[in-house]
Chain A
Amino acid sequence: MNEHFQAFAGIMVAAVLALDGFLHAYWATGQTWPARNTRSLVQAVLNSSNTRAFRPAILLLLAVLLVCGALLVLARVHLLSIPGQLIPDSLLQLGIVGVATGLLVRAAMGIGWTLGLAPARSRWFYRLNLLVYTPVCLILFIAAVVVLSSY
């Protein structure tokens, strides 16, 4: 497969993961943008009304995981220079399989919500899930597989 295409796929996955990570870190500070309050944010992101799911500790942990995932992907496509070379290949592959699995699971859950297999608790969540979350996760999953194949 073309090396530039693999690098493009890696940058795309890493950019979205990093952006998502920074967004989670931002929410961990108590901000709720673009929602009006924590409750509507939780409904739009998680399809839940339980605001405890958005505790700073959980959000920070997610932010760290997402940024680490982004760094692993960049390392796999040789865009992390020397720090990337210090990570063993097997760990890189395992990490990116983890990223790909996470994206696939989220995409599968999204398909479940879209088909009505599980109820969407708000109209906003249903639309975001249908138009943004699920397609983005499917595209990123394919891009992550492309990155994995970069032997």
Chain B
Amino acid sequence: MNDFWSRHPWLRRATAAMITFLVVVITALLYIAYVYIPPEDRTETPAYLTYLQEHHLDGYVNAGNFRLHYLHEGKGEPVVLLPGNGAWMYSFRTIIPALAQHYSVYVIDTPGDGYTTPLASNPDYSALYTLSSIDQSLLAFLDHFHLGRVAIGGNSEGGGIALSFAEHYPDRVNKYISLDGTGLNIPDTWFWQLTAFPVLGEVYTKLTISRSAMRQILSAVTVHMPVTDTIVQDYYIPYTFHPNVVSWWVMERNIHWEETEHLLPQMKTPILVIWGKQDTVLDPHLYLPRWHYVDPHATIMEIDQAGHAVQEDQPGQVSQALLHFLAE
């Protein structure tokens, strides 16, 4: 071996340099993954949160493992909505006024998003961000407000979490709504799956905590809504909060939708499925036929000129569809 290297000194140097480079890269990745924490943007308050506070529309409830941030508007039968991962109640701002004219609307920042926080000061995130932990928190929320049976739904991962709750607590849910929601056992897109890998998931998530990344995400999940600086800013601020950053990879590793899909045929609750035709995150060509297969009685609606955040792109059509379904 020594003879070989002495005959090829350049190869010896290149191999040594490559090993050194790998060590440096791996060390840097470990540092970013497990030591570096992206700075939180606590200096500013989203304009929408200020609006909610000024009008006394939001509040906090200790429920289960979380201090849930919620919005309540309107009177009537209760409707509970959960935003998707990376979003917060802001993502429903355009449909709340129409619903609140007829219903008592509660929007909860899903654990891992918005202004909802874990109750423990030094939490074990992998034990917190599970479907059963979040389900119990939602149940405690309903109990706190003495809400007997509610219509529950959500966008993206909020839809999947709402589905899990509807399946596990059927006596507390009278209707279920999926707005481009997860919950079916269909593989996520590659960038979501990437976050499931140790080290890579942490590095990828932490390095994409920026306003420009948020703008790209919003541009990817909408096709009709203009992505303005104000919208980016309101989405971005809670996106930077540490528990929310951690939730990206912990939830991807913890939450598997086999169980929710497996339980779907047993669910008796009426279901409304609304999907953006141009959704590039959860492909309608995969999800809608599967929804039809697992629940032939579900009302399925595909909306044109709408992406993954269907209620952001077409709030009028989504509001009308929700009102019609809730009134049935």
Contact = CB atoms under 8 A, between A and B. Distances in A.
Interface string A133-151: 0000000000001101111
Interface in B262-285: none
A101 B15 contact: no
Interface of A is mostly: helix
Interface string B313-327: 000000000000000
B1 A104 contact: no
A93 B23 contact: no
Interface stretch (A12-20, A22-30, A46-54, A108-116): A108-116
A116 B19 contact: no
A7 to B, nearest CB: 13
B22 interface: yes
B12 A108 contact: no
Interface residues of A, number: 26
A151 B30 contact: no
Contacts of A115: 1, 15
B35 A97 contact: yes
A101 B1 CA distance: 28
B185 interface: no
A96 B15 contact: no
A45 interface: no
Main secondary structure of the interface of B (DSSP, over half): helix
B199 interface: yes
A117 B27 contact: no
Interface string A49-86: 00000000000000000000000000000000000010
Interface residues on chain B, size class? 20 to 34
Given A112-B19, A115-B1, A116-B1, A149 B26 contact: no
Contacts, number: 63
B31 to A, nearest CB: 6
Nearest to B127: A3
Given A105-B23, A117-B12, A145-B198, A93 B122 contact: no
Interface string B47-89: 0000000000000000000000000000000000000000000
Given A111-B19, A117-B15, A89 B30 contact: no
Given A112-B16, A117-B15, A151-B124, A104 B199 contact: no
B34 A148 contact: yes
Contacts of B250: 151
A96 B31 CA distance: 10
A151 B126 contact: yes
Interface of B: 1-2, 4-5, 12, 15-16, 19-20, 22-23, 26-27, 30-31, 33-35, 37, 122, 124-126, 198-199, 202, 246, 250, 253
